Chains A and B, each alone.
Chain A
């Protein structure tokens, strides 16, 4: 009787191990797929929340200066002028120009901002301080380094300066939070002076981008 009992136990264990060997890879694939789907749906939700302000064709078309990287001079910005129908409301107008800047130039090599970065929110305080809240991709996907981080912030600041005169200072948030740096170098704790002539009131610690 004993040998038979052992035979069935060992047999049962072997079947269980075999079943696990077949099932575990399937389970792992399912878990990975579920994680990927969750990540995608979070990103989708973020994108839906941050739907770019639509360009209204009824708005007057104005020459808009967008600052992207120069293809001839290393690590510098050049203005590219395009005609866009822009709102006269400074907040809507700021969102429109920043979303166009984020969309990037035709030559992707001249981008200054990561392609997956989004403008989540934009506010303009009565004293002319703009608060631009970007998605985490701005900090995680921008190449780390003083020159690349400065190019990214300068392209935002100079594009605002050229197109929205009401903006005098710029405070950058990442996903609603104040960050110490953009990607390890450029200081984000203060507000950047956008319009050097208008922004004279002291703000802690203001910096010229």
Chain B
């Protein structure tokens, strides 16, 4: 259980973005036939996304800077320790139409029944699902404008990384490691970075947590 010190009235707006380049270390993630490794590409994408967000005036915290592989819980803990943050986990898929990008938000989770203001760690995302969907739709909208063939709205999926994150949280997955030339993916990075930064900026006015909210336990 977390201490009740985490439970207090918040009026904080969005000012921090926690960026999560997925995988790393001994886990390369998706691998393409041309030797493309998801864990390396998402780290490069994160650099560009970070730059675009900082230009918009946001503070960026990364879950990993190099070739490490923090656990799912460690990555969530990085986000859960922030106040007024959103969480974006970056992925490259093994399949799907190359050159497209999809945003995922967590599927429905059972409602948090605790009346003590504390959020169970394993369902930390539950109170944020509505905000996550709004945030995801905004980012997906900008990706749709940039990358033909991408969906118009965010999809739902049981993404493990999102479940324990107590903040509006999305997964952005770029297709795919199957491209013959890594440059094809690299060319997408500025557009992805711009779409995420614009999505965060557009979401900012919606993110005012006025009710009491507890720290995940």
In the complex, A148→B156 CA distance in Å? 13
Tell me which of B100, B104, B109, B163 contacts A74 (CB under 8 A).
B100
**If A146-B91, A185-B91 touch, does A180 touch B96 (CB 8 Å cutoff)?**
no
Q: A205-B122, A207-B108, A209-B107 are in contact. Are A147 and B159 (CB under 8 A)?
A: no
Q: Within 8 Å of chain A (Cβ to Cβ): is B210?
A: no
Does A136 have its Cβ within 8 Å of any Cβ on chain B?
no
Q: Mark B172-210, 1 if CB is under 8 A from A, else 0.
A: 010110000000000000000000000000000000000
Most chain-B CB neighbours within 10 Å: which of A75, A144, A189?
A: A144
Complex CA distance for A200 and B97, rounded to whole angstroms: 36
Complex partner residue of B163 from A75, A145, A147, A187, CB under 8 angstroms: A187
- Contact assessment for B158 and A190 in the assembled complex, using a CB-CB cutoff below 8 Å: yes
Are B110 and A208 closer than 8 Å at their CB atoms? no
- B158 in contact with A143 (CB, 8 Å): no
Secondary structure at the A interface, as helix, strand, loop or mixed, is: loop
User: What are the residues of chain A within 8 A of B133 when measuring CB–CB?
Assistant: none
How far apart are the CA atoms of A203 and B160 in the complex, in Å? 17
Which of B2-10, B23-31, B55-63 forms contacts with chain A? B23-31
Chain B residue numbers with a CB within 8 Å of A192 are 158
What is the CB-to-nearest-CB distance from B158 to chain A, in angstroms, rounded to a whole number?
Answer: 4
Q: Quick check: is A181 within 8 A (CB to CB) of the other chain? A: yes
Alpha-carbon gap, A143 to B94, bound state (A): 6
Q: Is B72 an interface residue (CB 8 A)?
A: yes
- When the two chains form their complex, are residues B108 and A208 in contact, meaning their CB atoms are under 8 A apart? yes
**Which chain A residues (143-180) contact chain B, with CB distance < 8 Å?**
143-148, 150-151, 153, 180
Q: Are B29 and A144 in contact (CB under 8 A)?
A: yes
Give the distance to chain B from A51, nearest Cβ to Cβ, in Å: 31
Residues in chain A near residue B122, CB distance under 8 A: 189, 204-205
Q: Are B94 and A148 in contact (CB under 8 A)?
A: yes
Q: How far is the CB of B172 from chain A (nearest CB, A)?
A: 10
A182 CB to closest chain B CB (Å) equals 9
Given the complex, which residues of A lie within 8 Å of B156, measured CB to CB? 208
- In angstroms, Cα B95 to Cα A181, docked, is 18
The answer to whether B96 touches A75, judged by C-beta atoms less than 8 angstroms apart, is: yes
Let me know if A204 and B110 touch, CB within 8 A: yes
Whether the Cβ atoms of B109 and A145 lie closer than 8 Å is: no
The size class of the interface chain A forms with chain B is 20 to 34
Report if A145-B123 is in contact (Cβ < 8 Å); known contacts: A190-B158, A206-B110, A207-B158: no
A188-204 interface with B by 8 A CB criterion: 189-190, 192-193, 202-204
Bound state CA distance, A208 and B100, in angstroms?
A: 24
Residues of B within 8 A of A185 (CB): 91, 159-161, 171
Report the minimum CB–CB distance from A165 to chain B (whole Å). 21
Q: Answer whether A207 and B95 are a contact pair too, CB < 8 Å, given A143-B30, A146-B159.
A: no
User: Are the CB atoms of A205 and B163 closer together than 8 Å?
Assistant: yes
Contact A209 B158 (CB under 8 A): yes
**Contact present for A145 and B30 (CB under 8 Å):** yes
Name B149's closest neighbour in chain A (CB-CB). A74
Task: Tell yes or no: B157 within 8 A of A by CB.
Answer: yes
CB interface residues, B 7-25, toward A, < 8 Å: 22-23
13 sample A-B contacts, Cβ–Cβ < 8 Å, listed by A number: A75-B95, A143-B94, A144-B29, A146-B91, A146-B157, A146-B159, A147-B96, A180-B160, A186-B158, A186-B160, A202-B110, A206-B109, A208-B158
Residues of chain A touching chain B, judged by Cβ–Cβ distance below 8 Å, are 74-75, 143-148, 150-151, 153, 180-181, 184-187, 189-190, 192-193, 202-209
Q: A192-B158, A207-B108 are in contact. List 11 more A-B contacts (CB 8 A).
A: A143-B93, A143-B94, A145-B92, A145-B173, A147-B95, A150-B157, A180-B160, A185-B171, A186-B160, A206-B108, A209-B157
| B contacts, CB < 8 Å to A | 22-23, 27, 29-31, 38, 72, 91-97, 100, 102, 104, 106-110, 122-123, 149, 156-161, 163, 171, 173, 175-176
